[in-house]
Each structure stands twice: as C-alpha cells, then as structure tokens.
Amino acid sequence: MLEIKNISKCYGKFPALTDVSLEISPGMFGLLGPNGAGKTTLMRIITTLLTPTAGEISMGNINWKKAHLVRNMIGYLPQKFSLYKNITVKEVLHHIAVLRGFYDQREKMVVDVLEKVNLLEQKDKKIKELSGGMIRRVGIAQAILGDPQIIVVDEPTAGLDPAERIRFRRLLHYLSKESIVIISTHIVEDIAATCEQAAILHKGKILKKDDLKSLSDMAKGKVWSMTLSTDEYFNISKEWNVISSQHLGDKYNLRIISETPPNGAVSATPTLEDAYLYLMGCVSE
C-alpha cells in the first residue's frame, strides 16, 4: 500500500498542493482534475523528481526520503516523452536499462518489454519514425523496464487517436495486475475505463477519493435527461447546465446537471464524468 500523508508543495508563495493524503492499493488508481490542479506536481513528488514542502510518502518500510531506494521501484511516463529522436527503439531501451542498473540483463529485458508493449517489429526503427501512439508505447516500455512496483503515468492518452487510446488503456490495465499503476489525467473516460479507485484534485486539494461507483453516486439525483426539438434545445441550453447533447434525427437528447429537474426531464444514472462536472461546478460557484 502506497501511503501519501499530508503532502504540501509550494512554489515560492504559490501553494501547488495543500495537505494531500491518499492511500493507494495495488491496481489502477486515477487522479482526475482540471489543468493546473496540481496533478503533475503530485506525480513528480511520487517519482522523487520534486521534494514536498511538507508531508511524507511511504510504502511498506521504504520512506520517500530515501529517494535512491524509491527510484528502484518506480517507473514513470511523463506527459511529453519524445527523447532521443535519432536513436532506434532498441538502443534507447538498452541505454535506459543501463541507467536503471540492469547492464547485464539488458538484452533479455528489452525484448521482454518490447513484446509486452507490442513493439518488437519496430525495434530497429528510429524514434522519429514512430507514430504518436508508438512513442507513448516506447514511453511505457521504459517505465516498466525491471518490473517496477509502482508505475506513474501522466496524461497517458493525450494526443492519441481513439484506437491507440483504447489499446493504451488496455495495456495499462494489464500492467496493473502486478503493480500499482497511477494515472493522472483530465480525461474522465481514461479513468472510467481503467481504474478501480480515483481521487479528484482541484487547486491543489483532494476534493474526493473513493471507488468509481461511489464517486459517480455523488451526482445521484442531480443528472437529468430529456429529448427536445432543435428550437427547444437552443432555448434550454441558455437556461440550464447542459453537459452533453446527442443529435438524434430532428431531435436532441440532452443531459443536464441541476439540483432541480427541468420541465419534462427524467432522472438519469450518473456517470463518473457527470459526477466530476457536478463537483467542478460546485467548487467554482
């Protein structure tokens, strides 16, 4: 169990994180929040790239103050990963295996991770010749070299096409069988599709942490659905908080977040996205 206790981080006088506490069990954990919420700062603290201003992190008897020990059990894929463009996939991973201290085992290790991320055929291609999705897979390959106990992935599917996004989520889910996988994103769908538990971060503070069902239930009785004509749709969208609309022939099917139901609306089962938008709406009021 990864325990994050009362972590705060200030950049000068700006508080990027305030008193963040989380307990993360093996499996997939999502960190959800808008841009600027402090997700990347928290990821960098977990990966020992930044030291917190206050608080502590531990797993078993390993404390994050001993960063050199922690780095042996962490794999990290940042939001932007496009290192070593002129070098082949295999060479990059060999080099990273050396930096990770696996000089003798690197041959086998690299083949293993390339198989896991399905890049064996591209092993002799230069990084600059790969698609965005393939580069993300190289990124995850370097993160899982040596089977780390904790894998931290920042904005895993940003910039990927829908098919690559689904493939990447499946890969992360597979990895969570044996490791703690923490993904940080503002894309709710990434978390809804993969995680068992999640926390919502806003302006450096944890608003809520729970399993996905409980998080979704926060918006129970606040989400409404209704079908309207085009004219009615444009009128109602000015008055109510319409969070999604689906065009069905000459009509629109709307989802609305509101404390009270609009005329003619029926209660809808809330999704994680509904709950996230509801919570963000509450905190911005």
Partner 1 sequence: MKKKLDVFYDFKVMGFNAHLPFLISLLLILYSCLRKDALNHIIPALELTFPVFAAWWSIFLYQYILEEPGSETVFSYPTSRLQLGFLRAFVFFIFYLFLLLAILLIIDQLCVARIFLPLAVQLGSEVFFFAGLGFWAITMTANSGWSLVILVIYSSTQILTRGVLFPIINVFSFNTNLLNASELWFSSVHSFSLGVILWIWAQISFGRFHKYH
Interacting residue ranges for partner 1, rule: CB under 8 A: 44, 47-50, 68, 71-72, 74, 76-78, 80-84, 86-87, 91, 94-96, 98-101, 103, 139, 142-143
Q: Is the dihedral of CA 159, 111, 118, 140 positive or negative?
A: negative
Q: Output the smallest distance, CB 41 to partner 1, in A.
A: 11
Detail the DSSP E strand segments found in the chain.
2-11, 14-24, 27-32, 54-59, 62-63, 74-77, 150-154, 180-185, 197-202, 205-211, 223-229, 241-248, 251-257, 266-267
Pick 12 or 162: Cβ nearer partner 1 = 12
Q: Is the dihedral of CA 215, 220, 222, 228 positive or negative?
A: positive
Pick 76 or 240: Cβ nearer partner 1 = 76
Pairing between β-strand 74-77 and β-strand 150-154 as defined by DSSP bridges: parallel
DSSP 36-49: TSSHHHHHHHHTTS
Pick 71 or 208: Cβ nearer partner 1 = 71
Pick 70 or 206: Cβ nearer partner 1 = 70
Count of alpha carbons within 13 Å of 52, Cβ hemisphere only? 26
Q: Output the smallest distance, CB 6 to partner 1, in A.
A: 21
Pick 44 or 165: Cβ nearer partner 1 = 44
Q: Count CB-CB contacts under 10 A for residue 25.
A: 10
